[in-house]
Amino acid sequence: MVFLTLEHILTHISFSVVSILISIHLITLLLFKEIIGLSDSSKKGMIITFFCITGLLFTRWFFSSHLPFSDLYESLIFLSWTFSILYIVPYFKKHKNYYLNTIITPSVIFTQGFATSGLLNEMHESLILVPALQSHWLMMHVSMMILGYATLLCGSLLSVAILVILFQELIQIIGKSKNFYFLNESFSFAVIKYINISEKKNVFKKTFFSSYRNYFRSQFIQQLDHWGYRTISLGFIFLTIGIISGAVWANEAWGSYWNWDPKETWAFITWTIFAIYLHTRKNKKLEDINSSIVASMGFLIIWVCYLGINLLGIGLHSYGSFTPN
């Protein structure tokens, strides 16, 4: 009982903190102003969230006496924990990464929201581990996979942002509807914000506003592109290690390192897509839009791999299926 209450408290704290953070981000977005106090508080809020989720994971670990990786709910919690780690780690380095942070906070709320929503309510009690999962490889495999997913999701979201900016004009023409308008506004705001930041450094560059804006727009895209590339390369490492540890584990438990199980296959598809992304970066002709398109495809494919296959409930990785067994 203590365990359940503790878990509830931690879940609700982390969820509400992240919601507050999202509203802060929205407010700064709508007011078109950087309020220093608020952005500082958002950093603190993310740290609070991080500790809450860490606590949550540890309580689950302690009370179920196995690592909290056994079902979809736990892996979602772990995913949002990884997102918050990705937020925290650059925070301690002197290298501030403004773009990643803007993308991570909403990601945390979505995963956390999905995990705590009623959809997965029956799965909250921690289950016993089936014989096949009782292995040291479980920790290695699952943690690396989720770390890989989280990092790749962040990186590919940056690429999605590039696509949105690049197709801004197109969207303006096609979508006169209000939803698109809002998206549009928010992204041109992001560009303006970037200009404001850069302005402090380069006071000399005062030219006509239009060309000035174009210059910074391309600079902004370049920065996003670069950080997207670095993040995806990092995620690719985690994904590689995750898939390989899974294969080695399968060779220990089921007698074959590769079974073409749907989940395995989709993990390999994800790996291939991001390998394609890394290769498009090698070619100057393919670099700009194409690599972003590939990364955005990767974004969708990660979700298919992570949730889609579980929802179908097929194969060896049927831990998160909605079908009662």
Partner 1 sequence: MKALSAINSSNPCLSKTHFLKVPIFHPFFRFKPFSHSYSIHVRGAKTALTPSFTINCKLKTSHDIKSKEKSVSQKIVLSEGSPPPLTEDGDTNGENVPESSQKKESPFGVVRMLRRKTLQILSNLPLAIGEMFAVASLMALGTFIDQGEAPDFYFQKYPEDHPVFGFFTWRWVLALGFDHMFSSPIFLGVLALLGASLMACTYTTQLPLIKVSRRWLFLHSAEAIRKQEFSESLPRASIQDVGTILMGAGYEVFLKGPSLYAFKGLAGRLAPVGVHIAMILIMAGGTLSATGSFRGSVTVPQGLNFVVGDVLAPSGFLSSPTEAFNTEIHVNRFYMDYYESGEVSQFHTDLSLLNMDGKEVMRKTISVNDPLRYGGITIYQTDWSISALQILKDNEGPYNLAMAPLQINGDKKLFGTFLPVGDINSPDVKGISMLARDLQSIVLYDKEGKFAGVRRPNSKLPINIDGSEIVIVDAIGSSGLDLKTDPGVPLVYAGFGALMITTCISYLSHSQIWALQDGTTIIVGGKSNRGKMEFPEEMNLLLDKVPEIVESTLGG
Binding site for partner 1 (CB under 8 A): 95, 128-132, 134-135, 137, 223, 226-227, 229-230, 233-234, 236-237, 240-241, 244, 247-248, 251-258, 260, 262, 265-266, 268-269, 272-273, 275-276, 279-280, 282-283, 286, 309, 325
CA pseudo-torsion sign 159, 164, 168, 173: positive
Tokens of 94: 């002197």
User: How far apart are alpha carbons 150 and 104 in whole angstroms?
Assistant: 9
Minimum CB–partner distance for residue 256 and partner 1 (Å)? 7
Reported as type and span, the H/E element at residue 290 is helix 288-303
The candidate with the shortest Cα–Cα distance to 264, out of 315, 199, 301, is 315
Minimum CB–partner distance for residue 177 and partner 1 (Å)? 29
Residue 8 or 226 with smaller CB distance to partner 1: 226
Minimum CB–partner distance for residue 114 and partner 1 (Å)? 23
Minimum CB–partner distance for residue 298 and partner 1 (Å)? 10
Amino acid identity for residue 45 in this structure: G
- Cβ-Cβ contacts under 8 Å for 38 (sequence gap 6 or more): 24, 27, 28
Residue 87 or 274 with smaller CB distance to partner 1: 274
Residue 10 or 138 with smaller CB distance to partner 1: 138
Minimum CB–partner distance for residue 311 and partner 1 (Å)? 13
Strand segments, DSSP code E, in the chain are none
Residue 13 or 253 with smaller CB distance to partner 1: 253
Greatest Cα pair distance, the chain, in angstroms, is: 68
Residue 102 or 233 with smaller CB distance to partner 1: 233
Minimum CB–partner distance for residue 95 and partner 1 (Å)? 7
Assess contact for 146 and 75: CB atoms under 8 A.
Answer: yes
Amino acid identity for residue 35 in this structure: I
CA pseudo-torsion sign 175, 181, 185, 186: negative
Residue 15 or 299 with smaller CB distance to partner 1: 299
Residue 120 or 248 with smaller CB distance to partner 1: 248
Tokens of 25: 């981000």
Residue 29 or 293 with smaller CB distance to partner 1: 293
DSSP 176-224: -SHHHHHHHHHHHHHHHHHHHHHHHH-SS----HHHHHHHHHHHHHHHH
Minimum CB–partner distance for residue 233 and partner 1 (Å)? 6
Minimum CB–partner distance for residue 320 and partner 1 (Å)? 15
CA pseudo-torsion sign 146, 150, 152, 153: positive
DSSP 10-77: HHHHHHHHHHHHHHHHHHHHHHT---HHHHHHHHHHHHHHHHHHHHHHHHHHHHHSS-S-SSHHHHHH
